[in-house]
Amino acid sequence: MSSICYLDCSATSPLESEVLDAMRPYLEEELGNSGSRTHEFGIRANRAVENARKQVAEVVDSSQAEVVFTSGATESNNIAILGLRDFAAERGRKHIVSTTIEHKAVLEPVDVLKAAGFDVTLVNPGANGRVKAADVLDAVREDTLLVSVMHANNETGVIQPISEISAGLRGSAAFFHTDAAQSFGKDIKTLQDQRIDLISISGHKIFGPKGVGSLITRRRGHNRLPLKPIMYGGGQERGLRPGTLPVHLIVGLGMASFVALRDQKERAEKCLDFRRKLLAGLEELTPAVHGDPDFHLPHVVSLSIADIDSEAIMLALKDEVAISNGSACTSASYSPSHVLNAMGMSAVEADAVTRWSWCHRTPEPDWEAIKQRIKILL
List of domains in the chain: 5-14+264-375 (3.90.1150.10), 17-258 (3.40.640.10)
pLDDT at 173: 96
pLDDT at 56: 98
Q: Which positions of the chain have pLDDT values less than 70?
A: 1-2, 327-334
Rounded to an integer, what distance in angstroms lies between the CA atom of residue 135 and that of residue 45? Answer: 47
**What residues act catalytically?**
329
pLDDT at 330: 52
* Total-model pTM: 0.96
pLDDT at 334: 60
User: What are the two backbone dihedrals, phi and then psi, of residue 197, each rounded to the nearest 5 degrees?
Assistant: -75, -40
Amino acid at 119: D
